[in-house]
Structure 1
Amino acid sequence: MEPELAEVRDFFAAHEPFSQLPAAVLDALPARCTMRYHRRGTTVLDPDGAVEALYVVRSGAVDVYDRVGGLVERVDVGGSVGVTGLLEAPPYGFLVTAVEDTLMLAVPRAAFEELLDHGPVASYFLLQQAHRLRAAVETVSVADHGGAVLRTKVSDMVSGRIIIVDPRRTVQEAAALMREENISSLLVLDDEGHLAGILTDSDLRARVVATALPVTSTVAEVMTPEPLTLPSDALAFEALLEMLGRDIHHLPVIDPDGRPLGLVTNTDLVRLERSSPLYLVQDVGRQRTTAGLANVAARIPSIVDLLVTQDASAGDISRVISALADAIHRRLIALAEAQFGPAPAPYCWVVLGSQARYESGLGGDQDTAIILEDSVTPEQADWFADFAGFVTDGLVECGFPRCPGDVMATNPRWRQTESAWRGIFAEWLDRPTPDALVGAAIFFDMRPLTGDPELCERLRRYVLSRTPEARPFLAHLTKQAVAHQPPIGLFRGLVVEKSGPEKSTLDIKHRGVGPVCEIARVLALSIGSPAVDTRSRLQAASAAGAMGSSAAEDLLDAFEFISYVRLRHQAQRVREGAPPDNNVAPDTLGHFEKRTLKDAFGVVRSAQGVLGGRQPLGYMS
């Protein structure tokens, strides 16, 4: 071998993935390559061009930018660029420029394709694709224009003026201090200056006035101990989500040492941006009629449209939609109890499916149920039938259609005692059939909304104690999870629906978002995890060894990007005066979205293949 070729061979042998090639292949590779030199600042690859070779950095470095100018990565000696252009049709989609004077080895397309026949090399470049997907997920979160409620840090919202009270002071003294300072809350510190609790005006109403507690009681007796806090670098949007999800109005902000810097209140956030979801939730709470509530609910799509164009991920947007739906449900339930009187027996109103997972989109229908205490009488059961009817009708008026499969609290089958619910789940677990489980899977995504949450939690603990050993049940769920293949063809082309009203579109919910949720559900139930949302389920599966950490991260990235495309499509539909749906026409997508969707769908299909190989499909006849 000529000395120059021998040097190139040694270079390849010293860098992944070429070092994993058989000796004969490695020996032959240098003669097939050419050398290219690029001066600092010049273009190596153009985003609108085609790529005919894999370019490996021999010396120097290059930067890779996406179409909006975001730096995807810096590639130095031994790294390569151009993989995407070799695997997909042009244009390439990335701008590659030389950071310094750079020498590159060009591996022609034919040679590159032969290298993919070697497993380690193919796996290496697949990981590069996953990295690109992650960069794409970050790209779509960049705002076109900013909303203050999303971009402001909580540390910029607190004044630094902290009004504190000693826990040994009396309630009367604390109330006088609040009146004097014209504030609605006090921070309670321990002797070392750390946050011990918070005392709010609602604490005084609920724990002192309502219970006729003496005003000589101490602050320590009535305060909220160990309150939820936020770090100083948290965004206002995170404060908003916590307030929505936990129905609280004050959040202490602490420094890295745990010392309070101040408070963020719901009023602060409303003042920051009146069009925020928090303002809408406050409007929900003011409504006294279903018609008024429906008018407020009609503003949800505009809130989503705002969030899509700001620094919010698909996960955060879905959490906001779910929290708004929760608020509307709770208000309707309060209106129902005002009309029919207090519930005659303990109960728990639960939400199911995407709302339970905090993964709602626009246009979703109702999925609800009621768990009743075992002591409920037939007469009391009639009250709950009327109650469920009122809430369900109200949800329809507020823009939440009835479930086509009748999975609603108005259906007597889904309005049962705790013991009856155990029997229903036992039937699914012990004697699963495909027909029975088609509509039953969402019941394993259950979250308590109002009433006695312990009724739901006891039922959940019972179910999760049994799911890891319910192998036939897991096999049926696995079959469902792998049945809906992502819309990507053999040669990585997007496959549209062939008939029906969705013809020539991508069913991005049932063939994109849905399979990821189903994979996560199977994995979580197989390990008995109490997690309900898809992200937490995949993280739990990874921690338990049921899924590799890299595979879980890749699937979460795929889930995020597919969900974002779905939400953006729904927001666009509403903007155009059309009802939101899940059917995305490929010709409405840019090259970036199409290419990244292909990557995301490929990750989902790979995860389905792994799941199908691990779960006990042999239990099914």
Structure 2
Amino acid sequence: MPLPAPLTQFLASVHPYDSLPADAVEALAEACEARELAAGEAAFAVGDAVQALYVIAEGAFEITDEAGVQLSILGPRNSFGERALLRSETATRTATATAASTLIVVPAATLFELIAAHTPVARFFDRRRPSRADGRNLATLPVERLMTASPASCPPQTPICEAARLMRDRHISSICVSDDAGFQGIVTLRDMNSRVVVEGHDPCAPVSSIMTANPLTLGPKALVTDVLHLMVERRIGHIPIVEGATLLGIVTQTDLTRAQALSSADIVGRVAKSADADEMARATAEIPQLLVQLVDTGNRHEVVTRLITDIADTATRRLLALAEENLGPPPVPYLWLACGSQGRQEQTGVSDQDNCLILSDAAGEADMAYFHDLARFVAQGLDRCGYFFCPGDMMATNPRWCQPLRVWREYFQRWIAKPDPEAQMLASVMFDLRPIGGDEGLFASLQADTLGAASANSIFTAHMISNSLKHQPPLGLLRGLATIRSGDHRNQLDLKLNGVVPVVDLGRVYALQGQLRPVNTRARLEAAVAAGVVSHSGGADLLDAYDLIATTRLEHQVRQVKAGTRPGNYLDPSQLSDFERSHLRDAFVVVKTMQSSVGSGKGALG
């Protein structure tokens, strides 16, 4: 069958074939054939042997799973079939044309040759998270990740006194000089002292008269080690980062010292020694920069979120200790627990607080005032440190969540016995409880008994599964990704609610089904595979998908911090490369597949 013309140009516009040399694209076009399908006709179905990769040239295809649940709608330039092909498996999905369509059929042998011969193609079809080249060594980072972007600058004709005033007001040790022609020079505090204060230079003269013209600069791709070597060799403390004539940023000795000193252990140490919430807040204010450093130096997402959560745990325990110093010793034993992202040890650059108090059954009505005061003291301190109050009031300051152990047992028994929508929501939150400070013996038996009772109640489990499917991955018509249609976040993806939360919910269901103790999502998925709650292949896919989604979220927040904005969860997919969008879409497809498996009643082993 004749191929759609011009095929070579079409393939050259499709990622990853756009990275191939011209002769390789022509060879690929010669090896392909066209296949036309009518609306309703399937390219392949579940159980079929897949022997080719299919690239959509015209039309659209619906991808469904074994239960017939729609996973995604794909349009021109999208491809499918690689999952089964690369694993040498029969198809686990059905691809059906929803309109008259034309497919470009890439034979398996041709695809494997491309993967073997061309790194960009191999990288594209490797569904694991791409490795990061820099490891965990600060010195090997490119300076563009460390520099202060858009540094303070002024035109050459600016009076020296005005430049000095700007440096004072911004608490900076240098100011760059630039005009329409580009970067011209730099003035440092040393220049101000030696040339103005000591030599008596006219403070009303233009700043260009005391600047260091054409100073030593580096490009954005230089390494931090280059900065270190130059500063030591030339005995300078400021290096502008310039590309062409454009000033991009600056790196100072202070930047290097701060980056080398900044660590989760340093912040934890300062928080643990804080005399009050204000001092604590000065330490936690550095969490966004810690997030940047941890992600930029190649740490895995679960390591980053664990280290950031450790700071919140320390802040909570220090506030509990300060509360006891102010209020006196507690009248009965108690346990402060976190739920939500802190409970799962999955905090990122933006987190609210979700917590509760379990009190000894010896607590009487007269003791409640003490614990209400303690809860208020700690919650207000956490808010001061940037962990804002929970919008849903899931906090120990709410009397409902500050109760003796016997009441907590009644809560869980009632939720399990009558899983109405509120019970499902509350149980979902409370199944993520993790002890933070106090008598942990108050929780151990409660957790074990609750998991046993919940997993044994098939009606409750079914309701929890149904509740876990309320948050769906954002799959749709836009290159396979469905963005928000209106409001402040129009045309964006919610990487929390529609990204990580569906996996969090699946992990919670698996933990319930297998009576698994871990609370962290990744640990739950690994435990579910080990316990046979989820199949090895399904679990491996879901772990890879979760890793990619969670890492994409963290990298997005890092870009926001570097841009000087508050980190959040909404991402415009146009900011991603074709490679990143394609892999993110595939990750969402995996999540959707696992949701469908659980929701169809087949469990996770189907």
Shorter-chain TM-score: what band? 0.5 to 0.7
- Does residue 413 (structure 1) correspond to residue 400 (structure 2)? The answer is yes
TM-aligned CA distance change 1:134 to 1:581, over 3 Å: farther
Shift of residue 135, structure 1, vs aligned partner = 3.9
Q: Distance in 1 between matches of 2:22 and 2:317?
A: 55
Shift of residue 106, structure 1, vs aligned partner = 2.8
Shift of residue 121, structure 1, vs aligned partner = 3.0
Match in the other structure for 1:71: none
Shift of residue 614, structure 1, vs aligned partner = 2.0
Equivalent residue runs for 1:11-160 within 5 Å:
51=11, 90-92=15-17, 106-110=31-35, 116-117=44-45, 119-122=47-50, 125-127=82-84, 135=126, 137-139=128-130, 141-143=132-134, 146-147=137-138
State, as a whole percentage, how many aligned pairs show the same letter: 36
Match in the other structure for 2:416: 429
TM-aligned CA distance change 1:605 to 1:490, over 3 Å: farther
Contact 2:2-2:34 at 8 Å conserved across structures: no
- Helix, strand or coil: the match of 2:403? strand
Match in the other structure for 2:245: none
Contact 1:141-1:312 at 8 Å conserved across structures: no
TM-aligned CA distance change 1:97 to 1:515, over 3 Å: farther
Equivalent of residue 498 in structure 1, options 461, 482, 485 = 485
Match in the other structure for 1:23: none
Q: Distance in 1 between matches of 2:526 and 2:127?
A: 21
TM-aligned CA distance change 1:279 to 1:117, over 3 Å: same
Equivalent of residue 452 in structure 1, options 406, 430, 439 = 439
- Helix, strand or coil: the match of 2:35? helix
Match in the other structure for 1:319: 306
Match in the other structure for 2:321: 334
Shift of residue 491, structure 1, vs aligned partner = 7.6
Shift of residue 137, structure 1, vs aligned partner = 4.2
Deviations 1:522-564 (A, max 9, x none): 1110121112111221222223332111111111111111111
Q: Distance in 2 between matches of 1:577 and 1:396?
A: 21
Alignment RMSD: 3.4
Shift of residue 568, structure 1, vs aligned partner = 1.4
Match in the other structure for 1:485: 472
Equivalent AA in structure 2 for residue 119 of structure 1: G
Equivalent AA in structure 1 for residue 83 of structure 2: L
Equivalent AA in structure 2 for residue 143 of structure 1: D
Match in the other structure for 2:284: 297
Equivalent of residue 556 in structure 2, options 562, 569, 584 = 569
Equivalent AA in structure 2 for residue 106 of structure 1: A
- Helix, strand or coil: the match of 2:31? strand
TM-aligned CA distance change 1:128 to 1:389, over 3 Å: farther
Equivalent AA in structure 2 for residue 121 of structure 1: A
Contact 1:475-1:615 at 8 Å conserved across structures: no
Contact 1:93-1:592 at 8 Å conserved across structures: no
- Helix, strand or coil: the match of 2:442? helix
Contact 2:494-2:570 at 8 Å conserved across structures: yes
- Helix, strand or coil: the match of 1:502? coil
TM-aligned CA distance change 1:140 to 1:362, over 3 Å: farther
Equivalent of residue 402 in structure 1, options 380, 389, 392 = 389
Equivalent residue runs for 1:168-247 within 5 Å:
none
- Helix, strand or coil: the match of 1:483? coil
- Does residue 354 (structure 1) correspond to residue 354 (structure 2)? The answer is no
Contact 1:429-1:473 at 8 Å conserved across structures: yes
Contact 1:276-1:303 at 8 Å conserved across structures: yes
Contact 1:523-1:546 at 8 Å conserved across structures: yes
- Does residue 275 (structure 1) correspond to residue 258 (structure 2)? The answer is no
Q: Distance in 2 between matches of 1:408 and 1:381?
A: 15
Contact 1:541-1:547 at 8 Å conserved across structures: yes
Contact 1:478-1:522 at 8 Å conserved across structures: yes
TM-aligned CA distance change 1:367 to 1:140, over 3 Å: farther
TM-aligned CA distance change 1:451 to 1:109, over 3 Å: farther
Match in the other structure for 2:166: none
Deviations 1:410-453 (A, max 9, x none): 00111111110010011111100113322431110111011011
- Helix, strand or coil: the match of 1:518? helix
- Helix, strand or coil: the match of 2:357? strand
Match in the other structure for 1:21: none
Shift of residue 111, structure 1, vs aligned partner = 8.5
Match in the other structure for 1:185: none
Deviations 1:231-282 (A, max 9, x none): xxxxxxxxxxxxxxxxxxxxxxxxxxxxxxxxxxxxxxx9994212111111
Shift of residue 472, structure 1, vs aligned partner = 1.8
Q: Distance in 2 between matches of 1:103 and 1:591?
A: 20
- Helix, strand or coil: the match of 1:369? strand
TM-aligned CA distance change 1:565 to 1:417, over 3 Å: same
Shift of residue 110, structure 1, vs aligned partner = 2.3
Equivalent AA in structure 1 for residue 539 of structure 2: A
TM-score, scaled relative to structure 1: 0.61
TM-aligned CA distance change 1:392 to 1:93, over 3 Å: farther
Q: Distance in 2 between matches of 1:133 and 1:381?
A: 59
Deviations 1:305-359 (A, max 9, x none): 1111112111111111111111111111121112112222111100102111111
User: Mean Cα displacement is larger for which, 585-594 or 535-544?
Assistant: 535-544
Match in the other structure for 2:517: 530
TM-aligned CA distance change 1:450 to 1:519, over 3 Å: same
Contact 2:259-2:293 at 8 Å conserved across structures: no
Shift of residue 490, structure 1, vs aligned partner = 5.5
Provide structure 2 residue ranges, at least 5 long, that are not aligned to the other structure. Answer: 52-80, 88-121, 142-256
Deviations 1:79-124 (A, max 9, x none): xxxxxx9xxx54546659999xx99993425289976347343497
Contact 2:416-2:460 at 8 Å conserved across structures: yes
Q: Distance in 1 between matches of 2:136 and 2:361?
A: 53
Equivalent AA in structure 1 for residue 495 of structure 2: I
Provide structure 1 residue ranges, at least 5 long, that are not aligned to the other structure. Answer: 1-30, 34-44, 53-84, 151-269, 617-621
Shift of residue 146, structure 1, vs aligned partner = 3.1
- Helix, strand or coil: the match of 2:481? coil
Deviations 1:480-527 (A, max 9, x none): 222222111158521111122222110111111000010111111012
Deviations 1:385-415 (A, max 9, x none): 0000000000110001100100001001111
Deviations 1:150-202 (A, max 9, x none): 9xxxxxxxxxxxxxxxxxxxxxxxxxxxxxxxxxxxxxxxxxxxxxxxxxxxx
Equivalent AA in structure 2 for residue 341 of structure 1: G
TM-aligned CA distance change 1:120 to 1:553, over 3 Å: same
Q: Distance in 1 between matches of 2:140 and 2:317?
A: 25
Match in the other structure for 1:386: 373
Contact 1:301-1:574 at 8 Å conserved across structures: yes
